[in-house]
Amino acid sequence: MNKGIADIAKIQQILEQSTAKELSTNTGISLSNIKKWKSGERSIERMNLTDAIKLTDYANRNLSAEIVTWRE
């Protein structure tokens, strides 16, 4: 059985930075669902776990890492 992690912050970020078509094509999630999440018509907090894991996995592969350094 495949295990996955759903990260709401990454999902929000990938929804903001990617087109609905791109996300649908690369995750297999329906275009209409992605458009509803992007527009706010549907809450991402109520997204089913399978879709949340798919979007998190896609975000992990496609978002650039942010490096934060501390200076005194």
DSSP state of 40: T
Contacts of residue 35, Cβ cutoff 8 Å, sequence gap at least 6: 20, 41
Q: What residue ranges do the domains of the chain occupy?
A: 8-62
pTM (two decimals): 0.83
Question: Given pLDDT bands bounded at 50, 70 and 90, which one contains residue 1?
Answer: very low
Residue 2 has pLDDT above 70, yes or no: no
pLDDT digits (tens, 9 = 90+) for 21-65: 999 999 999 999 999 999 999 999 999 999 999 999 999 999 876
Question: Given pLDDT bands bounded at 50, 70 and 90, which one contains residue 71?
Answer: confident
